């Protein structure tokens, strides 16, 4: 992987004491290994930081972050950064196109409603093959956002990409958010959605025997928890899980959480806030909140676990994959070094070669598991 130095004096504000590097020096060293295409997103976020969770009332904070997270919001920010950074007539800079990518087109996209626990909830269906008469395999996708923010709109681009690349139906699920609706509200909504999709497979043109479940970050956490409930309640069968940089241990004290605690998409104060908000009065050690703490994962379906090299959640994602493997579950694990948390969303803003590799891996694994 080609990397570039980002040696600017503003990044080092500490000094070495008795041979031990300060947090800021360690952060500087990490930034030097960022993929140059991920660096563009990093710079855009650094120059346009969003509000902190305690700066605004929850609805206003959520709306502000969702605006930044949507394709249109990050698209406009990155466009400014690229234009300022690039002075070459060829419209390229550091291997990155100065023109952000366009939203992937899917032949058929439709919003649906399903009966959630406390009323109708939204599902967005992406079907790249709407004229196919045979039932199609499908991925049920649960968006991330720390259980507190984001919607199916913020993850529209990655769902479009998965549908197109894998050639399968993708059903993106919305759910109630904390802190207004703490654990297990969102989890129960996601479980209800999986059961509704299975029960209504014919109307959705999907094959109920070829359903996968997946999500990113907190959506990965909910994916694992839904699979636990499915096992416990004898729910609709899921044949594959797609885990994208998942949060699987609420109280993890890993090296990556320390190394990337500040300045890498998921700052420590944000993580603390969303975890406390989601947990409510619950126990953070509950396996439905911290799937890595479950004693038995042997019932889980085969998995692909993807992590990012510059992500606080990297190490626990790896540990989750190792636990699955140790308990006899077929699992592929891949860490994409040089990438940031959420890079599969970011790749539709800035062209990312590594992001394309990750998406191709997701598609390949989904096709194999779903017998496409």
What Cα–Cα distance (Å) separates residue 18 from each residue in 15, 21, 22, 152?
Answer: 10, 9, 10, 49
The Cβ of residue 356 has, within 10 Å, a number of other Cβ atoms equal to 14
341 classed as catalytic: yes
Which residue of the set 75, 143, 310, 341 is catalytic?
341
Which residue of the set 156, 174, 207, 311 is catalytic?
311
Pairing of strands 96-97, 169-173: unpaired
Residue 242 buriedness (CB in 10 A; 0-12 / 13-18 / 19+): buried
83 classed as catalytic: no
> How far apart (Å, rounded) are the C-alpha atoms in residues 69 and 63?
10
The closest of 157, 165, 216 to 363, measured between CA atoms, is: 165
Which residue of the set 157, 194, 217, 290 is catalytic?
217
DSSP for 232-274 reads HHT-S---EEEEES----TT---HHHHHTSSSSSS-HHHHHHH
Cβ(289)–Cβ(321) under 8 Å? no
The closest of 182, 184, 271 to 233, measured between CA atoms, is: 184
153 classed as catalytic: no
Pairing of strands 119-127, 169-173: antiparallel
Torsion sign over Cα 207, 210, 211, 214: negative
> How far apart (Å, rounded) are the C-alpha atoms in residues 144 and 149?
8
The SS3 of residue 367 is helix
Residues annotated as catalytic (active site), given as ranges: 217, 311, 341
């Amino acid at each position: 992987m080609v990397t570039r130095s980002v040696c600017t004096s503003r990044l080092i504000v500490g000094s070495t004491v008795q041979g031990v590097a300060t947090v800021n020096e360690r952060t500087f060293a990490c930034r030097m290994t960022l993929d140059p295409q991920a660096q563009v997103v990093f710079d855009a976020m650094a120059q346009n930081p969003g509000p902190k969770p305690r700066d605004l009332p929850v609805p206003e904070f959520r709306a502000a972050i969702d605006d930044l997270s949507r394709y249109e919001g990050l698209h406009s920010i990155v466009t400014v950064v690229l234009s300022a950074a690039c002075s070459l007539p060829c419209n390229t800079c550091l291997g990155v196109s100065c023109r952000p990518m366009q939203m992937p087109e899917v032949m058929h996209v439709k919003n649906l409603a399903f009966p959630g626990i406390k009323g109708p909830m939204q599902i967005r269906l992406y079907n790249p093959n709407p004229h196919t008469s045979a039932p199609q395999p499908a991925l049920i996708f649960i968006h991330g956002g720390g259980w507190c923010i984001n919607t199916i709109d913020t993850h529209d681009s990655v769902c479009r990409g998965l549908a197109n690349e894998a050639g399968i139906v993708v059903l993106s699920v919305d759910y109630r958010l904390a802190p207004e609706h703490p654990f297990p509200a969102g989890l129960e909504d996601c479980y209800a959605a999986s059961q509704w999709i299975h029960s209504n497979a014919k109307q959705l043109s999907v094959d109920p025997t070829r359903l996968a479940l997946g999500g990113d970050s907190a959506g990965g956490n909910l994916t694992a928890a839904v699979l636990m409930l499915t096992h416990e309640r004898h729910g609709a069968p899921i044949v594959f899980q797609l885990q994208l940089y998942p949060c699987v241990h609420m109280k993890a004290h890993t090296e990556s959480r320390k190394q990337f605690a500040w300045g890498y998409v998921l700052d420590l104060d944000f993580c603390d806030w969303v975890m406390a908000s989601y947990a409510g009065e619950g126990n953070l050690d509950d396996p439905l909140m911290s799937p890595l703490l479950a004693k038995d994962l042997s019932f889980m379906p085969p998995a692909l676990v993807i992590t990012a090299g510059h992500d606080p959640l990297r190490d626990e994602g790896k540990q989750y994959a190792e636990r699955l493997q140790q308990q006899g579950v077929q699992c592929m694990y891949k860490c994409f070094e040089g990438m940031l948390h959420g890079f599969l969303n970011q790749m539709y803003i800035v062209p990312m070669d590594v992001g394309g590799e990750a998406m191709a891996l997701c598609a390949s694994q989904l096709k194999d598991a779903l017998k496409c």
